[in-house]
């Protein structure tokens, strides 16, 4: 057990890291261009925060949360999603007093106890954007455009934006009644979980992946028919803005998302790049969440994206990335004086921003040169007693095998010229 990671967790290293770094760099560049600032919240929160925000009828709360009592008897939960924590921080630090909107992003570990499969782990990483302080559909469009621009930067194939509106509380109540009437005659065909959802929150039945339930709800009435004038106008304006931006979308009235805090706009970016249909990114508006958590009435909209699922999509599309190590120079050594000098020079080179490496294992000279090749060194140099005594050494271009004699103490200046 000591040498195996817990089920549903994964070590990330080696060949995978360049892809992670590339994705994270694109995310940060995108957020910078949109004026979105980073926030880092704790990996655990008071359990009540998720009960109030996520909803006690959701699968997350009912089956997937890692919840425990701390030593003071307080109920603590590893965060199963990040929006609630960001909302809590927005309230706690009085961000609503700042000029609005407040635009935040995060890249964070997240925890859900669920069946593990490709792209679905018990500890995973989530990138998300949250924008607070406006009820305007323009903010919805800005969040969606950020997600669309990110998908475009990754050049993800076979991806489709699907949008819907859940309306406000009155629209939801009207639709719940119509949905219960529709489902009622077929309730015996629902799975056990959907029978419970039917009583507590019938909208959640639309989110079920069981084939039997999907067949029953295929002909369900559309929530769009239950929207009030304001919610209908909000949705129509959003569509007009997306049209003007040139962002293509499909209206899908069965998108409800898995969390109870959503109101009005919901959306998903769906792809078939990894085989079966898969949601790469999803989000929507949650205008009541800040108030429900103890803050002022605040319009808000955001999205979340599972990093592991995104990686799977990119790997399926582009192939497995191959890690190619690289160093500017490897300095090998013979004898004690050469060994100590090699460590000194490498330290100076690194301080100058040059990627340098020396032997720290005690290899033979032949083995050191093999190692220099393995780490992708562009140049190499061997220091022994003769080189130390003369103050000069042979600098070798590892690609062309061209050799030039240099003064050892000038190595930083020489390498800076070589690397220009």
Q: What is the mean pLDDT of the chain?
A: 90
What are the C-alpha distances in Å from 230 to residues 211, 234, 302, 306? 35, 6, 20, 32
- CA atoms of 207 and 194, how far apart (whole Å): 9
What's the token pair of residue 104? Answer: 């935040």
pLDDT at residue 230 above 90? yes
pLDDT per residue as tens digits for the range 385-403: 999 999 999 999 999 999 9
Bridge partners, residue 159, by sequence: 271
pLDDT at residue 276 above 60? no
Work out the number of other CB atoms within 10 angstroms of the CB of residue 399.
8
Closest CA to 344 of 280, 408, 258: 408
Segment 136-153 shows an average pLDDT of 97
Work out the number of other CB atoms within 10 angstroms of the CB of residue 365.
14
Closest CA to 150 of 20, 34, 238: 34
Contact 53, 87 (CB under 8 A): yes
Binning pLDDT at 50, 70 and 90, where does residue 239 land? very high
Contact 111, 122 (CB under 8 A): yes
pLDDT at residue 57 above 60? no
pLDDT at residue 59 above 80? no
Count Cβ atoms within 10 A of the Cβ of residue 47 and give its class: 0-12 exposed, 13-18 middle, 19 or more buried.
Answer: middle
What's the pLDDT score for residue 305? 94
Contact 286, 143 (CB under 8 A): no
Q: Vertex 142, ends 138 and 147: CA angle to 5°?
A: 150
What's the token pair of residue 41? Answer: 């919240």
**CATH code for 14-167+227-318?**
3.30.930.10
Binning pLDDT at 50, 70 and 90, where does residue 413 land? very high
What's the token pair of residue 169? Answer: 């509380």
Answer yes or no: same fold for 14-167+227-318 and 327-418.
Answer: no
Binning pLDDT at 50, 70 and 90, where does residue 100 land? very high
Bridge partners, residue 154, by sequence: none
- CA atoms of 389 and 409, how far apart (whole Å): 12
What's the pLDDT score for residue 318? 78
Segment 163-172 shows an average pLDDT of 92
Residue with tokens 């018990």: 122
- CA atoms of 384 and 406, how far apart (whole Å): 14
Residue with tokens 């960001």: 86
CA 264 to chain centre: 24
pLDDT per residue as tens digits for the range 177-190: 888 888 877 777 78
H/E element holding 372? helix 365-374
pLDDT at residue 2 above 70? yes
Q: Where are the domains of the chain?
A: 14-167+227-318, 327-418
120 DSSP assignment: B
pLDDT at residue 55 above 70? no
- CA atoms of 292 and 113, how far apart (whole Å): 26
pLDDT per residue as tens digits for the range 192-202: 778 777 777 77
What's the pLDDT score for residue 1? 64
Question: What CATH homologous superfamily does 327-418 map to?
Answer: Anticodon-binding domain (3.40.50.800)
What's the pLDDT score for residue 243? 98
- The answer, as to whether pTM is greater than 0.85, is yes
């Amino acid at each position: 057990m000591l040498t195996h990671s817990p089920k549903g967790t994964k070590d990330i290293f080696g060949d995978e890291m360049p892809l992670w770094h590339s994705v994270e760099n694109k995310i940060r560049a995108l957020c910078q261009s949109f004026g979105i600032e980073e926030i880092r919240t704790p990996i655990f929160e008071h359990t009540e925060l998720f009960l109030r925000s996520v909803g006690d009828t959701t699968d997350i709360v009912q089956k997937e949360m890692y919840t425990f009592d701390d030593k003071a008897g307080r109920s603590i939960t590893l965060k199963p999603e990040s929006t609630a924590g960001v909302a809590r921080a927005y309230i706690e630090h009085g961000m609503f007093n700042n000029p609005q909107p407040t635009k935040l992003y995060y890249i964070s570990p997240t925890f859900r106890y669920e069946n593990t499969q490709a792209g679905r782990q018990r500890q995973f990483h989530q990138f998300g954007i949250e924008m607070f302080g406006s009820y305007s559909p323009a903010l919805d469009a800005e969040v969606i455009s950020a997600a669309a621009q990110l998908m475009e930067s990754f050049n993800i194939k076979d991806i489709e934006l699907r949008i819907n509106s859940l309306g406000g509380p009155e629209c939801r109540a009207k639709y719940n009644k119509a949905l219960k009437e529709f489902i009622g005659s077929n309730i015996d065909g629902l799975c056990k979980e959907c029978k419970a959802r039917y009583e507590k929150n019938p909208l959640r039945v639309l989110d079920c992946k069981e084939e039997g339930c999907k067949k029953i709800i295929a002909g369900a009435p559309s929530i769009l028919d239950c929207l009030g004038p304001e919610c209908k106008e909000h949705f129509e304006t959003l569509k007009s803005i997306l049209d003007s931006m040139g962002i293509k979308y499909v209206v899908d009235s069965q998108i409800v998302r898995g969390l109870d805090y959503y109101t009005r706009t919901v959306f998903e970016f769906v792809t078939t790049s990894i085989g079966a249909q898969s949601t790469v990114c999803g989000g929507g508006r949650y205008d009541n969440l800040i108030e429900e958590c103890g803050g002022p009435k605040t319009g808000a909209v955001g999205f979340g994206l599972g990093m592991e699922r995104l990686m799977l999509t990119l790997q399926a599309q582009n192939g497995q990335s191959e890690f190619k190590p690289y160093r500017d120079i490897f300095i090998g050594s013979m004898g004690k004086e050469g060994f100590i000098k090699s460590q000194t020079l490498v330290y100076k080179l690194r301080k100058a921003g040059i990627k340098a490496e020396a032997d720290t294992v005690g290899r033979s000279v032949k083995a050191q040169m093999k190692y220099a090749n393995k780490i992708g060194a562009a140049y190499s140099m061997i220091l022994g007693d003769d080189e130390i005594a003369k103050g000069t050494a042979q600098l070798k271009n590892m690609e062309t095998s061209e050799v030039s004699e240099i003064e050892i103490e000038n190595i930083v200046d020489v390498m800076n010229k070589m690397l220009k």
